[in-house]
Structure 1
Amino acid sequence: MQLLIDEARTFPARAAAHGVNLGPHTTSATPQAMFIACSDAHVVPALLTSSRPGDLYELRTYGGTLPHPAEHEPTSEARTIEHAVDVLCVTDIIVCGHSRCGAIDALHPDSEAAPFQVAAGQWHTLMQFDALSEYPCVQARLIDRTLRLHAWYYDIDAGTTVRYDPRASAFLPL
């Protein structure tokens, strides 16, 4: 814990050394994209995308799992999506799955074959992508073409990311 405390204390100096301005204008910055990912500590959206403070609006859940929209009692995930879409007016939403995901392993505990795990992880990513596209606020923005959805899959071991291409019905290099 002490390491985390020490890093938090030195963050302003490190940010300044890298040209990151933490001044007042950054609080009003509007992110251009929302990044939905697993809460796994190996997945760091800002590092994957070289984003700076204010660039990404993140939603992290166990396995990157999104509930289907419900009319009554909206979930915190639903409210986060609605805020990104309706208030922040993001133009892109990335749903990003990853390799060696504990949530996927829990769903498919009998298979340890790497190709199966990748296929299961990519399938899970597409299921979350489909759930996201069911949200009324998302549908409205897709219809007026002011929002684009993307499905990515991050390979933790290789450090590479692929994207889903619906025309090819496959995950391809970015």
Structure 2
Amino acid sequence: MKAVLDQLKDGIRKFQTEVYPERAEAYRVAATTQQKPHTLLITCADSRIDPEAITSSVPGEMFVTRNVGNMVPAYGEMLGGVSAVIEYAVEALGVQHAVVCGHSDCGAMKGLLGSASDLERMPTVKSWLRNAAAALMVTQGLAGENASPKTLLHSLTEQNVLLQLNHLRTHPSIAGGLAKGTLTVSGWVYDIEHGEVKIYDDVTNKFLPVSTRI
């Protein structure tokens, strides 16, 4: 256990001696200026995801919330941390865009498919995953009889992002922003292995790589 803490301490020292000095002015501005992020990013708690690196963002540009499976409970269902973050981001910070970002090899999606560790030992996680129950039903309905586990996982990941986007739109602050035209939303899937981000396109009804989008 001590070895892990020592590793974290080494990382802090490196930040203080190498990273911070090169960006000291940016951090000074961030510390003395009220935050004004342009984007709310809702993504998975998976430790392999680095939102700032993926989007080449700097401190102050994104307001990020993370949870198991990048879930957004429909408004009124589970009022709590996620709902509070959404409301604060829109009403207090005035974000202009909100993203729901899923990712490849997601443990939450594997759990829904029954291919992850035993959820009976994690009743809280099992309950939380009910927020994606409809996505699982859609995936199973669309899947062919011979669909591979890999195909099912990929499809469920995409369907879950779309479902959570629908849940997001039920939040009053989001609905109001969309109606006024002060806010837009999008759904992403991040491929960890290949460093690729696909964004859902309403016209083609597909998740398209950023490189191919107009």
CA RMSD of aligned residues (A): 1.9
Structure 2 counterpart of 1:6, from 7, 10, 13: 10
Q: Contact 2:30 / 2:60 at 8 angstroms: preserved in 1?
A: no
Q: State the AA in 1 paired with 2:171.
A: Y
Provide closer, same or farther for how the CA distance between residues 4 and 20 of structure 1 changes in structure 2, counting only shifts above 3 A: farther
Deviations 1:10-47 (A, max 9, x none): 32441332576211544513101011000000111011
Which has the greater radius of gyration?
A: 2
Correspondence 1:105 to 2:106: no
Normalized per residue, the structure richer in helix is: 2
Q: Contact 2:39 / 2:61 at 8 angstroms: preserved in 1?
A: yes
The Cα shift of 1:144 comes to 0.5
- After TM superposition, list the pairs within 5 Å mapping 1:70-109 onto structure 2: 70=76, 74-109=79-114
Provide closer, same or farther for how the CA distance between residues 94 and 20 of structure 1 changes in structure 2, counting only shifts above 3 A: farther
Q: Contact 1:64 / 1:96 at 8 angstroms: preserved in 2?
A: yes
Deviations 1:129-161 (A, max 9, x none): 111111011000000100000100001111100
Runs of 5+ consecutive residues of structure 2 not aligned to the other structure? 116-146
Structure 2 counterpart of 1:155, from 183, 186, 191: 191
- Identity between Structure 1 and Structure 2 (%): 29
Distance in 2, Cα, partners of 1:132 & 1:168 = 21
Correspondence 1:55 to 2:68: no
Provide closer, same or farther for how the CA distance between residues 20 and 66 of structure 1 changes in structure 2, counting only shifts above 3 A: farther
Correspondence 1:131 to 2:197: no
Q: Contact 2:38 / 2:62 at 8 angstroms: preserved in 1?
A: yes
Distance in 1, Cα, partners of 2:24 & 2:68 = 33
Provide closer, same or farther for how the CA distance between residues 25 and 108 of structure 1 changes in structure 2, counting only shifts above 3 A: closer
Runs of 5+ consecutive residues of structure 1 not aligned to the other structure? none
Distance in 2, Cα, partners of 1:143 & 1:162 = 26
User: 1:150 aligns to what SS in structure 2?
Assistant: strand
Deviations 1:86-138 (A, max 9, x none): 00000001110001000000001258632221111011111111111110110
User: 1:64 aligns to what SS in structure 2?
Assistant: coil
Q: TM-score under structure 2 normalisation? A: 0.75
Matching residue of 2:143? none
Q: Contact 1:164 / 1:172 at 8 angstroms: preserved in 2?
A: yes
User: 1:63 aligns to what SS in structure 2?
Assistant: coil
User: 1:41 aligns to what SS in structure 2?
Assistant: coil
User: 1:28 aligns to what SS in structure 2?
Assistant: coil
Q: Contact 1:20 / 1:52 at 8 angstroms: preserved in 2?
A: no
The aligned length equals 173
Deviations 1:30-85 (A, max 9, x none): 101011000000111011001111111001011111111118x8311101100000
Q: Contact 2:42 / 2:64 at 8 angstroms: preserved in 1?
A: yes
